[in-house]
Structure 1
């Protein structure tokens, strides 16, 4: 007799990952994951606290994949004196971020749309009152914090401070905004191909600290 493999958190996450990669992020659901594993939905709650908890684990996986790819890209960036070379780590990182979002749309959605793609499914209480509940996964650092830290490190090479959160937010907003607009088809089929690179280069030039030191000049918005 062939017995089913022992269920574990890793197997649940793996099944969820293959599900969203094959069918898209909006396919995620406890019933769908259970069907893929040939178990009852109630069995999943022994390993993940609920659907939101499963999405959080997928987001952590996505962050790890993206951060690893960014680190490889930054390591390839040339290091030399001069403004153009100073821009290279940011440009390499931005290109890798865009590549990941294009090639892994479901994972990117899990990372950037917390709670927004959860489909309906039985709650633990609806599934069975007798199922022991899993504890929430202990995550020492959230996916958002990990990405924010890496972005601050990259922009810090230009702006000076290692914790320049404002510059990191500006860069992140540009990256995600471009990806969102592109995915929505807002640029059209004949959009200019160099818009992304030009935007990153312009941001790098604008964020670079002045030769005299200190922060770049801030232009206050006109009321």
Structure 2
């Protein structure tokens, strides 16, 4: 029997809150069941298993994050769009650390391909980078550079990895300036430079 009021959407929303409270790795079906005051078995009517719950959480978090980014970059181009994109990315990572960590998991390619949030993420990211005149395969390389820079910075910042007395926000601004210059003077496939 399905418990009244318990839905997959409510479970994922609660898992998102739990992830921010205790960390993504500590989200479990047992912890979620305790939150709702039900037995673990009650959740299986709504999610297949922990991997299914985590994948749903990752898609939800990715959707939240790209909406924040989309709002930030709307009407902007070039360095302004890059700075807005990066700022929204970092803001989401700070505000929702557990959900942000969920966005880092590897999803089944079929599930990711069917996700409107994942498609929107690609559209916004590639759209911003096309303003720099980039085309494939340079677009993919630039996305990898941005993702590794943004994630690396946020991950180090979250764990207290920046011990120097300089304000990390100032270093962040320098990183965005450096990325803008790199994108503006991107080494094109085939050796051409802009």
The two structures share one fold, judged by TM-score above 0.5: yes
1:92 deviates by 0.8
Structure 1 156/114 Cα, relative in aligned 2: closer, same or farther at 3 Å? same
The count of aligned residue pairs is 186
Q: What are the within-5 Å matches in structure 2 for residues 47-126 of structure 1?
A: 47-75=46-74, 77=76, 86-114=78-106
Structure 2 match to 1:215: 188
Q: Deviations over 1:67-98 (max 9, x none)?
A: 00001100153x5xxxxxx2110111001101
Contact 1:111 1:143 in 2 (8 A): no
1:183 deviates by 1.7
Structure 2 match to 1:196: 172
- Name the Cα RMSD after superposition: 3.0
1:45 deviates by 1.1
Q: TM-score, normalised by structure 2?
A: 0.82
Which has more radius of gyration? 1
Q: Tell me, which stretches of 5 or more residues in structure 1 are unaligned?
A: 80-85, 116-136
Using the alignment, how far apart are the partners of 2:148 and 2:96 within structure 1? Answer: 19
Structure possessing the higher relative contact order (Cα contacts under 8 Å, 6 or more residues apart)? 1
Structure 1 17/186 Cα, relative in aligned 2: closer, same or farther at 3 Å? closer
Q: Tell me, which stretches of 5 or more residues in structure 2 are unaligned?
A: none
1:107 deviates by 0.4
Which of residues 121, 125, 140 is equivalent to 1:151? 125
Using the alignment, how far apart are the partners of 1:138 and 1:74 within structure 2? Answer: 23
Using the alignment, how far apart are the partners of 1:139 and 1:216 within structure 2? Answer: 27
Comparing 10-19 with 39-48, which one deviates more in the overlay? Answer: 10-19
Runs of 4+ in structure 1 off by over 4 angstroms are 142-146, 216-219
Q: TM-score, normalised by structure 1?
A: 0.72
Using the alignment, how far apart are the partners of 2:34 and 2:171 within structure 1? Answer: 43
Structure 1 218/180 Cα, relative in aligned 2: closer, same or farther at 3 Å? farther
1:205 aligns with 2:181: yes
Structure 1 204/144 Cα, relative in aligned 2: closer, same or farther at 3 Å? same
Greater helix share, structure number: 2
